Structure 1
């Protein structure tokens, strides 16, 4: 079966169905995959590092010994109780994918140790993955896809984590922080922990945007919105460098393309308001431009015209579609789009 709705996933992770013998957690955001895997593992066994109750495997182990997975799933817990077989797949490889799918089907059908749980953590599996198909098809198995966090998910995670340290932010500061957060769950949690320390745990402080200026200024180049602004400002080298740094922090190509699309949309709104008679500065504020970025945005507004944005829009849409194709070189597509935008900006005099 497939568990894709957040409430269903959270309910299952809190209280796993005892009838389920195999769980596949997969997605491009390995931070979310690992986090959910850890949460489920802790519900299944008292100590996830206990070698008597838990077997830790990788695809490398299966490559060296094809029978290893079924052997671990057939073994009994030496201490009594439930046994956990935790398999981490680093890549979607044909032979390993088939081997895992066959073991999952046999285990879900009860052919191996029925008291064992098979927990598989994998990256972004395509629709043709045999392991994914097996987990979705079997009644005693569950497939849990992990999608990139939305802004609301990140905001909720930030609020909950800061509340545990008795610190918080007002709405404007939260929106600013979330906009600059990396989407990869593991990196995001590290940034939240760093922010909590910056705000001093237990202080009860309610941070404002001005309180975050020094903190956010530590790594401004990591923001994809800054990379998009560099591209529309004609600064290709800066945009390319920022995209690559963001990629190292977990911001993939699709997020970069979206950031470029969002910047285009903000420019379009400002130009539309100006055409309707609003002042440029007033229009920038109405479009939600942060005050530190206002000067650069107004510089771009003086160069870009609505017809120029119309010409570049198809390139953004094409890059967005291409990034959603399985196996697409997302990072290269994002950098190529930045090159196209920066080249157009240069021709406009930026």
Structure 2
């Protein structure tokens, strides 16, 4: 069944054990272009199903790579019983374009939703922007025992609400004019947007009770990652690997580590996505670039990149940026190497796009 309306989706995510319209739901497909929202909703649902979503005994975490290596792996995990007596949860992060894997996941979801495997287990599939021809999406929409939850990019009103609520928790607020200004400059990716809100809260001094005006935000909106990182991100998306690596190493010497480098790459992707989305909806590309917060001196290079990158290509790169960010935050991780490998991946993709 399709839970396309936000109230329906939120009700199910909050109380999944109640099912929907009288049907017991055993599987949920959460998908969409904004993987930050997909991951957030997947985690929210997992926390309602399992006491500990990271428990290796009751929770199995798979990727499409696991399905590619072993076609029966997903059904096997769904048929297995819990080792510790809790409710079994199987989580699949699906990002493959292979029709064979799409079909394999669809067949497993259909069987499980019908109760043919372990009927007490629950399946969560987190996927990207599945098209209407996706067998997995069709299966989730058709099965009574499954919920298909599309995740759309946040509208400006949604972003404004998130900003107000997040700042209020730190006893901070923005005037209407400042809020509009900040929202207009926000990246569309929810994960990156949350980082920007957190950064703004720190800038305004948490707990100070500040009510910020546009003038108060001038310094913040002008703040970018170190110039070397900003340049490195632009070089990577422009296909200039050597320049990108030099910029990353220069930034490292200036004290900017791997997490900041990955964040800079994510911010650049967010600007490209916002500009391309605005252009797709009818805006001129120069107007879209300005709305995405591109500095005028960088506009020519940004527009060159925007003519080659597409929303679909950005979708392919985004999971790797999110994964690099996660790896960088792990204790003892070689974050500088992770950032350089990510820059290599982005630059390589850019070169294949003709940049």
TM-score range, shorter chain: 0.5 to 0.7
From 118, 121, 136, give the equivalent of 1:131. Answer: 136
The structure whose Rg is larger is: 1
Residue 212 of structure 2 corresponds to residue 190 of structure 1 = no
Partners of 1:166 and 1:63 in 2: CA distance: 49
Comparing 85-94 with 113-122, greater Cα deviation is found at 85-94
Query: Any unmatched runs of 5+ in structure 2?
Result: 228-264, 297-306, 317-355
After TM superposition, where is structure 1 displaced by more than 3 Å over at least 4 residues in a row? Answer: 244-247, 262-266, 327-331
Partner of 1:6: 6
Cα deviation, 1:184-236, whole Å, max 9, x if unaligned, reads 11100110111111111111111111111111001399xxxxxxxxxxxxxxx
Q: How does 1:166-315 map to 2 (within 5 A)?
A: 166-219=171-224, 247-249=268-270, 251-252=272-273, 254-257=276-279, 261=283
Partners of 1:245 and 1:83 in 2: CA distance: 34
Partner of 2:33: 28
Comparing 160-169 with 211-220, greater Cα deviation is found at 211-220
Partners of 2:138 and 2:281 in 1: CA distance: 33
Partner of 2:62: 57
State whether residues 187 and 250 of structure 1, in contact with CA within 8 Å, keep that contact through their aligned partners in structure 2.
no
Over aligned residue pairs, what C-alpha RMSD do you find? 3.3
State whether residues 87 and 121 of structure 1, in contact with CA within 8 Å, keep that contact through their aligned partners in structure 2.
yes
Partner of 1:81: 86
Partners of 1:213 and 1:147 in 2: CA distance: 30
Q: TM-score when scaled to structure 2?
A: 0.67
Comparing 72-81 with 55-64, greater Cα deviation is found at 72-81
- Give the Å deviation of 1:81: 2.5
Partners of 1:62 and 1:250 in 2: CA distance: 34
Partners of 1:264 and 1:49 in 2: CA distance: 45
Q: Name the SS for the 1:51 alignment partner.
A: coil
State whether residues 92 and 125 of structure 1, in contact with CA within 8 Å, keep that contact through their aligned partners in structure 2.
no
From 158, 164, 170, give the equivalent of 1:165. Answer: 170
Partners of 2:270 and 2:127 in 1: CA distance: 19
Number of residue pairs the alignment of both structures matches: 261
Partners of 2:158 and 2:175 in 1: CA distance: 17
